[in-house]
Chain A
Amino acid sequence: MSREKASGGLEKASAPAKGAIVAKQVVKTYDTGKVKVEALRGVDLSVKEGDMIAIMGPSGCGKTTLLNCLSGLDDLSGGEIYINGKPLSGMNDRERTRYRAEKIGFIFQAYNLLPVLTSAENVELPLLLAGKNPKEARKLALEALRSVGLEEWSAHKPSELSGGQQQRVTIARSFVNRPEIVFGDEPTGNLDSESSKDIMGLLKKLNKENKQTFIIVTHDYTVGRMADKIVMMKDGLIEKEFVPAPY
C-alpha cells in the first residue's frame, strides 16, 4: 500500500484501476430557493485502489456532500468524478444504481438497516440484489456476521440490537458482496471509544485482506489516524491532505 503523498497523483490515477476514484473540480451547490449553498467549491481528490482515506473537517464543511457525490448518490453541479476511469456523469441513474449494487458498500452513521428485516436478512440484501442464490446468500451473510462477531444475533431485528451491534451488522452488509469501495459516513459516530477502535480495526483488516478501498468521514482523530491518508476539508474545499502518524 502506498503511503506517498497523493496530491500529485491525478494523472496517474486516471488510468483504470479497481476501486480507484478521482474527483476533478467537483462543485456542488444546493439551491433551496431562497439561498444557494455552495457545499463543495471545487474539490480535487484522488484515491487509489486499496487506499483507506479519512475525510475530516468541521461540521458543515461538506464532508457528507462529498461522500454522496463520490458514491454517485448525488448529482454534481460541476466538475467530474471518475470511478475506475469511468466518468460518473456518463452513467444514468440505472447504471449508477447497478454500479452501487455491485461495486460499492455503505456504512452510514445511523438509519442504516431496514428495521423490519433481521440482521441476516439485512446483510444478505446486497447479495440478493446481485442475483445470488438465496441459500448461498444466507450462508455468506452468516459468515459475514460471524466475522463481525454477531452470528448469534442473526435472527434479531435491528431494534433488538445495541448501537454498536447495529453498526457491525451494517459493516457486515457493506463487505458481504466484496465491494471495491466502501463509503462510511461517521461509521463510529455514536460508539464509545473502545467500540470505535474495534470497528476501525475490523475495517482496517478488511482493507488489508481484501484490498478494498475505504473512504471514511469522521470527526474523531483517533479514528482518522488509522487511515492511510487524512483529507482535511474546510468550507467546501480540501484544505490539506496528509499521512497520519502511524499508531
Chain B
Amino acid sequence: MNGLQQLAVLVAIVLVVVGILAARRRVFARMAIRSILRRKKYSVIVVCGLLIATAMISGSLVAGDTLDYIIAREVMTNTDEVDIVVSALNETGDEAYFNYTFVSQVAASIGAGTSPHMDKVSGALRGYLAVKNLRTGLTFSQGGIFGFEVGATVNPLLDSDGVPAKIEDVSGGVAVINSRLADEVDAQAGDTLAGITDNGFPVMITVSWVAKDTGLANWDGSAYAFVDLSYAQSIIGQPGMINRIDVSCAGSKSSGYKVTDQAIAELQQQLPADPDFQYDAIKADGLEEAKAVSDMMSQLLVLMSSFAIIAGAALIVNIFVMLAEERKTEMGISRAIGMQRGDLTQTFMYEGVVYALAAAGVGAFAGLGIAMVVMSGTATIISDGGLQFTLNWDWASLGIAACAGFLITMLTVVVASWRVSKLNIVRAIRDIPEPVSVRTARRYLALGIAGIVFGVVASIIGAAQDEAWGVSAGPSLMALGVALLLARFVSFRVPLSVASAFVVFYVLDPFNVAGLIFGPSEGGMEMFLVSGLLLVSGCVILVMVNSDFLLNGLMASFGRKRSLLPVFKVATSYPMNKKFRTGLSIFMFALIMFTVIVMAMIASFQRESVEKTTQQLSGGYEILGFSMLEIPASNLTVGLELVNESVGAGAIMSYDIAAEGPATLIAPGQDEFDYPMIGFSDRMISEAKYTLMRRAPQYSSDIDAWNALLEDHSLVIMDGSVIPSQFGPTTFSGVSLDVGDVVTIRTPLGTEANVTIVGIMDQYFISGVFCSHEFLHAINPLAKDTLLYFETSHLPGVADSDVSKRMEQVFVEYGLTTMVVRDTVEEVMTMVASVMQLMEIFLGMGLIVGIAGLGIITIRNVAERRQEIGVMRAIGYQRDMILKAFLLETSFTSLLGIIVGTLMGLGISYTIFEWGGFAKMSEFVIPWGEILIVFAIAFVITLAATLPPSRKAARLAPAEALRRVD
C-alpha cells in the first residue's frame, strides 16, 4: 500500500466508526448538524481557520510536484533523445579521446538487433570554444564547440519555426549556432566568428543559421557552435577521434530512460574495458535528481507547515472550549436528565467531523493557491520571473493532504471533545466559577508529573545522543512540571513565572548554559519548531500569569484619557477573565509571528553579510580571473593597459598570478578526493592577503603562518570548506580537516608529497590546497598560471563589472573568465534572502488561523454578552464605546500575540546570529520596515475580521439586548 492508500484506509475507518456511532443514536448527530446550520457564518469561519493547515500541506506537495515537473521538463529538453552519454577517462583521470570505430560497433549491434534496448547512437566531439563575433565585436569566453555526425545525429537541429532545418551545408568552417550563443555575441546568419579552442587553436567559423534552443541545440543548456564532426576533429587536433557517444534508448523520447540500465549493460558488452568508459545515465539521473530536489522542497515546506498545524490544533481546542461554555446550561440539563458523558462527547465530535471533513476537502484545493504563490516566488528567485510554469499536480498529493489534514483535525477534535465534555459537566452541575477543586488540582498534579517525566526523558536523550531538541526541551519541560507541582502549595503566579521565564531564558540561551551542561549538541530543522514552541509557550504563560500587572501598567499609561477609561476597563477585563482562550489566541498569533520574524531576520543576515563576506572571500581582490590558457607576462601587461585605456586610467591597480594544478588529496581514514593545488605568488603569501579562520599554535599571526609556506614546502594552508559548518557534521568539500593534520597529495603524474596543514582560510570560494607558487610548479608540472587576482581602484563611474567584462574581451583568446567577487556574493546572498522571504510568505499564511480564531471569539463574545451589552448601553456607554471596547479587546489579544511572537523571534534570531556563525560574516540588523509591514498586515486583517461582529454589538438596541433571548 502506498502512503495515500494507507491514509485513505485510516480516514475510512474513522468515518465508519463515526457513522456507526451516529446511526445508533441519531439524535446526537442531528443536534450537531442543527448547531452547524444554525450559525452558518460562524461555521464558515471555523472551516476557514481549520483548512489552512491542510492547505499548507497540500500546497507543499503540489509545489513539489510542480518543481519536479519543471526540472524534469528541463532535463527532457536538455537531453532530448539522448538517454546515455558514454565518455572515457585516461590514467590521470582526465577525459580521453577515443576512436570513432566504437560508435560503428554499437550501431552495428543495434542494426543486427543484438542490442534491443537501444535505438540510436552517434559519436560527438565536444570541446571548449571562446568566440568573438567579428561583425559586432562581442566576445564570449564560455562557449563550446560541438562536432556532430551531420548524417547520423540522434537529435535534430530545429530552425526558429521548430522544423528540422537543412544541415547539408554544415561542413568545414560552416556552423549552426544555437540561440544562446547567438544572443551572447549578437550573431546572425552570415556572421563570421573568430574562435579559439582550449588547445589554443584559432579558428574562423561562418554562421550558417541560428537554431532554436531545443533538441540538439539545447544540449546541456550551454552555448554551442555545431560543426561537422570531422571539422571539429581537425581543429581540436584529434582526427578520427571523438570524446562522446550519445545513445538513445529504445522507446520514445520520454519513456526510453526506463530501460537505461539494460541499455548500459548492452553497451558494456559491446565496448571494451580499455579505455575506461564511463556511462552517464543522463536522463534517468536527471529525472531522479528532479524528484529528489522536489521531494526535499516538499518536505521542508511540510515541516514549516507544522507551525500552522499546531496553531490549527489550538484553534480547535479554543472553539470547543467556547462551544462547551456556551452550552454549559444545556449540557448540565442534558446530564441531569440522564445523558452520559460519552454522549456529550459524541455530539461535540459529530460537529467536529463535519468541520474536519469540510476543512480537509476545501483545504486540499486551497493548497493549489498556496502552491501558486510559492512557485511564482520560486520562479522569481531562480530566474527573475523568466521561468514559465503552470501548476502540475498529482491527484495523490491532494488526496494525501486531505487525508492527513482530516486525521490531524479529527485527532484534535476527539481529544478536545472528550476534554470539554468532561470538564464542563463538573462546572455545569455545580455551577461554580472554578475554584481550585480537587479535580483541577489533581489535573495539575498529573500535568506536572507528566512534564517532569517527559522532561527527564528528553534530557537523557539530549545528553546521550547529543540531540539538540532534547537538550532544549528536557530542562524546559522539567521546570514547567515542577512549577505545576509547586502551584499546589502556593499560588500559580510565582512558580509558573519563574519556570516560564527560565524556559525563555534557557532556550534563547545567551550564555550558552545548555552547552556548559550538555556539551555540544546537534540539531537540524526540527530545532526551529522545538525552540519556537518552547519560547512561545513559555512567553505566553509568563504573560498570562502576570497579566494583572501588565494590565495595571497599561491602564496607568494608556488609561489617562478619561473618556477611554471605561472602554479600556471592559476591553481588558474580558480577555483576562477567560485566560485559557485568550492564552490560546495569543499563542496562535505568537507562534506564526515567531516563524515569520525568524525568516525575516535570517534574510536580513544574508543581505547584511555582503560586505564582510566579500572581504573574507576576496582577500582584497575585487576581481578574480580564470583563464583556459596561461597568459604570457608581456601580453598580460599589454592587455591590462588596453583595459585601463578603455575604462579609465589606473582602473586596475595591481594583480597577482596564482598557479593551479590538479591533484588528489589523501587524508588518513577518509576517501580520496580530487582537490586542486593552488600556488600563491610570493607577494600574496608574504602580505597574507587571505585571513585565517584557524592557524597552528606556533604562529602568532596570519602573516607568520603564511610566510612559513615560503620557507618550508611541507606546509600548506587549506580553504575554509574543510571545516564542518554549523549546520551539521558535513563539510562543503566532503573532506573534514583541521590544522595539524598531515595529508598526502598525489599529482596526476603519480608524484606524492606529505604536507602538514598549518592554517585554514576564512574563504571557501576557491577550494584547494594552498602552497607557494614555487612548490606547486616543482611538484606538479601540470600546474598552470591560470588564476588571476585583480585589485581595482574604484574609479568614479567605473564599475568593477565593466572592468571585468572588458578584461574578458581583451583576453578572449586565452579563454579568460572573470568574476567580480562582491557582485557574486551579493547575487548569492540576495537569492538566499529571497528564499527566506518566500518562506516568510508561506509561513505567514498561518496567520489566517489566528485571525479566524479571533473572528470566532468575537462572534461568540457578541452573542454571549448580549445582556451585558444591554446593561452597558443602559448605564451610558455610547455605541462607539461598545465598538471600541470590542475592537480594543481583539487588538489587545492580537497585539499581545504579535508582540510576543516578534520578541521571541528576535530573541532566537540573535541566538542564531551569535552562535550560528553569522556574527563573523554579517551584521545584526533588524529590518524594521519589513517587520512593521508584517505587523500591520496581521493587525489590519484581524481588525477587519472582527469589525463586523463588533459593529453588530454596537448596533444592538439596548432594550432588545436586555431581553433574555438567545
A residues whose Cβ falls under 8 Å from a Cβ of B: 68, 71, 73-75, 93-94, 97-98, 100-102, 104-106, 108, 111-117, 121, 125-126, 128-134, 157, 159-160, 173
Contacts and interface: CB of A to CB of B under 8 A. Distances in A.
Interface string B936-965: 000000000000000000000111001010
Contacts of A157: 433
A117 B875 contact: no
B876 A68 contact: no
Contacts of A125: 566, 569, 875
Given A106-B874, A116-B573, A73 B565 contact: no
Interface centre among A101, A128, A173 (most CB of B within 10 A): A128
A74 B956 CA distance: 11
Contacts of B574: 116
Contact of B565 (A75, A101, A134): A134
A128 B562 contact: yes
A184 to B, nearest CB: 12
A74 B958 contact: yes
Q: Range of interface residues on chain B?
A: 20 to 34
Contacts of B204: none
Contacts of A71: 874
B contacts with A: majority SS: helix
A98 to B, nearest CB: 7
B871 A112 contact: yes
A114 B868 contact: yes
B868 A73 contact: no
B871 A111 contact: yes
A115 B566 CA distance: 15
Contact of A128 (B569, B870, B879, B962): B569
A126 B876 contact: yes
Given A73-B958, A73-B959, A108-B962, A93 B876 contact: no
B867 interface: yes
Contact of A73 (B570, B873, B879): B873
Interface string B567-607: 00110011011000000000000000000000000000000
A93 B566 CA distance: 19
Nearest to B958: A73
Interface in B840-890: 867-868, 870-879
B329 to A, nearest CB: 14
B619 interface: no
Nearest to B568: A128
A75 B957 CA distance: 9
12 contacts: A94-B879, A100-B875, A102-B876, A108-B871, A111-B962, A114-B573, A114-B871, A115-B577, A116-B576, A116-B577, A125-B566, A126-B876
Contact of A134 (B559, B874, B958, B964): B559
Contacts of A113: 871
A157 B576 CA distance: 13
B633 to A, nearest CB: 87
A68 B868 CA distance: 16
Contacts of B873: 73, 97
A56 B305 CA distance: 64
Nearest to A105: B875
A131 B957 contact: no
A93 B875 contact: no
A98 B876 contact: yes
Given A74-B957, A74-B958, A116-B573, A98 B872 contact: no
B868 A111 contact: yes
Interface centre among B563, B576, B871, B874 (most CB of A within 10 A): B874
Given A73-B958, A74-B958, A74-B959, A101 B875 contact: yes
B573 A100 contact: no
Given A114-B573, A117-B573, A128-B566, A68 B959 contact: yes
A contacts with B: majority SS: mixed
A130 B867 CA distance: 22
Contact of A121 (B563, B569, B872, B877): B569
A71 B876 CA distance: 11
A94 B875 CA distance: 13
B877 A129 contact: yes
Nearest to B434: A159
B242 to A, nearest CB: 86
A115 B577 CA distance: 9
Interface in B548-571: 559, 562-563, 565-566, 569-570
A111 B562 contact: no
Contacts of B876: 97-98, 100-102, 104, 126, 129-130
A128 B959 contact: no
Given A114-B573, A116-B570, A117-B570, A94 B433 contact: no
Contacts of B874: 71, 73, 100, 106, 108
A114 B959 CA distance: 17
A243 B872 CA distance: 34
Contacts of B577: 115-116
Contacts of A159: 433
A157 B574 CA distance: 12
Contacts of B573: 114, 116-117, 121
A159 B433 CA distance: 7
A95 B870 CA distance: 17
A97 to B, nearest CB: 5
A209 to B, nearest CB: 22
Contacts of B433: 157, 159-160
Contacts of B962: 68, 73, 108, 111
Contacts of B868: 111, 114-115
Nearest to B875: A126
Contacts of A129: 566, 875-877
A157 to B, nearest CB: 8
A115 B872 CA distance: 12
Contacts of A74: 957-959
Contacts of A133: 562
Contacts of B871: 106, 108, 111-114
A101 B876 CA distance: 4
- Counting from the closest, the 8 A-B pairs by CB-CB distance are A101-B876, A74-B959, A111-B867, A116-B577, A116-B573, A68-B959, A159-B433, A128-B566
Contacts of B870: 111
A108 B872 CA distance: 12
Contacts of A111: 867-868, 870-871, 962, 964
B958 A98 contact: no
B568 to A, nearest CB: 9
A154 to B, nearest CB: 15
Nearest to A127: B566
Contacts of B957: 74-75
Contact of A97 (B878, B959, B964): B878
Given A108-B871, A121-B569, A131 B964 contact: no
B564 to A, nearest CB: 10
